[in-house]
Structure 1
């Protein structure tokens, strides 16, 4: 089953797929998936409000967070609508039975047109940043991704990325380590920010077998509306 229809409501939420068990939305830059110390309203609360309004539900609405995207990142986020399906979705992520594809725009040409990057990441909670090492070091976690250059733009390169692991800031840190910081990502060495504080990293595509219906699900997230992303699409 392929899902691509976008539904909009008064919260400006983009719903890409929804059934009785799962809801998948297209996260905007600046949205946080879950509440944090900023106190800003998280995307999970926006989705709860959408469900409550759409189905006229009394009382509290259940919503389980399956995974997260960084605040400046855009694209696909999956939520569980029932407590029964949440552990099943979690298991899919743990067993790597969900195929996630990202697009990233970088300024510098990668050393190779396609490659597998393997690093060991160490998270620094003080500055909320991960440092990539070329060998196993104390408190590190192995990180593996595959990338390929899929388009040459006037001043940038569009990479398609598939993750083997899901580490903190993995794509951002690993690409920066090979000299390819993502456009707008000041934290990882890009020379200037984007006007909307986003970075050009988008969770574009996801494939998995529905944990209840047992049918294949394929979902694509439309790109943000800006000049660079439009050039990537054309």
Structure 2
């Protein structure tokens, strides 16, 4: 398997002879050990939310360059090739508008802040989400935040749009470097609370398995247990409470892959409750009787998102070197859903199954 490279900075503007401006959206340099690989497959491994069809369309339009020469999608990327995607519109960094969006700040000092992100807020601008994001809010409330490797101001890590919970934001270059290193070296602490389908039999356990793009559904990630694709991922889980058809669990991340908890829990047969992307928005366990179906539908209305909350976040402070830990309450929508399961599971103890 070839070794992928980190994206380089993406703020170059290319002047064309025709006097058209093309903006560099992505730039990658293939490593010395890069085996020949089609450029569309090469870019799919590196560009977030890209599809092969979109990449091929970009190549057909002459927007993919290798070593400053436009190439077709079947071009084979080789060692040390520089691959760039140039488009006529600027990347979102040029379009980033500060927006007066309130932030729930749990902690702040000169080096960093910790925010409690609500469900439904996208962390950073991207395809189809150029406003209303956490980064738009940060740009309004704070000046000169340091850029991460993807040119996103302040972001050390991220969580999904419909996941609620804690994020640390760097305010200085020193904080960015120090915090990023902790997440990379797995010394930070991240605990999530999740409601999952089914009765998790073991009280605790560890899920290991490389996570990468699903071969058929590019909107999903999946586990490659043989390590043939994706990147290593480790999740430690512990059962908090069982409700028969669903289980409340604590998940601690050793790594931080995209959709890691959602993918790992599905992999062991316990998809997150109401996780539409991974099939958790249908009845996966329980009876098919009308009363039970109505109960589930009511739960979905109360919690119209995946049941996942980033509850605890801990890390070493970049200046004081003290290990600090922050904790948040489970948000109201998820708590109400859990309470419904409390009541329902207690009633079943006396009534029996539906």
TM-score when normalising by structure 1: 0.83
Work out whether 1:49 is the aligned partner of 2:158: no
TM-score when normalising by structure 2: 0.56
Work out whether 1:223 is the aligned partner of 2:300: no
Work out whether 1:167 is the aligned partner of 2:257: yes
Shift of 1:181: 0.7
Q: Is the 8 A contact 1:111 1:178 kept in 2?
A: no
Q: Which one has the bigger helix percentage?
A: 2
- Pairs within 5 Å for 1:1-20: 11-20=101-110
Q: In the alignment, which residue of structure 2 is the partner of 1:184?
A: 274
Q: Which one has the bigger strand percentage?
A: 1
Deviates more, 1:120-129 or 1:181-190: 120-129
Q: Is the 8 A contact 2:101 2:132 kept in 1?
A: no
Deviates more, 1:213-222 or 1:122-131: 122-131
Superposition CA RMSD, Å: 2.3
- Residue 41 and residue 143 in structure 1: after superposition, are their counterparts in 2 closer, same or farther (change >3 A)? same
Gaps of 5+ in 1: 1-9, 52-59
Gaps of 5+ in 2: 1-99, 146-152, 283-296, 343-354
Write out per-residue CA displacement over residues 113-162 of structure 1, whole angstroms, 9 at most, x where no aligned residue. 2111111222249633111132222x322211110101124753110111
Work out whether 1:106 is the aligned partner of 2:196: yes
Q: In the alignment, which residue of structure 2 is the partner of 1:80?
A: 170
CA distance in structure 1 between the partners assigned to 2:315 and 2:173 by the alignment: 19
Shift of 1:197: 4.1
Shift of 1:165: 1.3
Greater RCO, 1 or 2 (C-alpha within 8 Å, sep 6+): 1
Work out whether 1:122 is the aligned partner of 2:231: no
- Residue 30 and residue 129 in structure 1: after superposition, are their counterparts in 2 closer, same or farther (change >3 A)? same
Shift of 1:12: 3.8
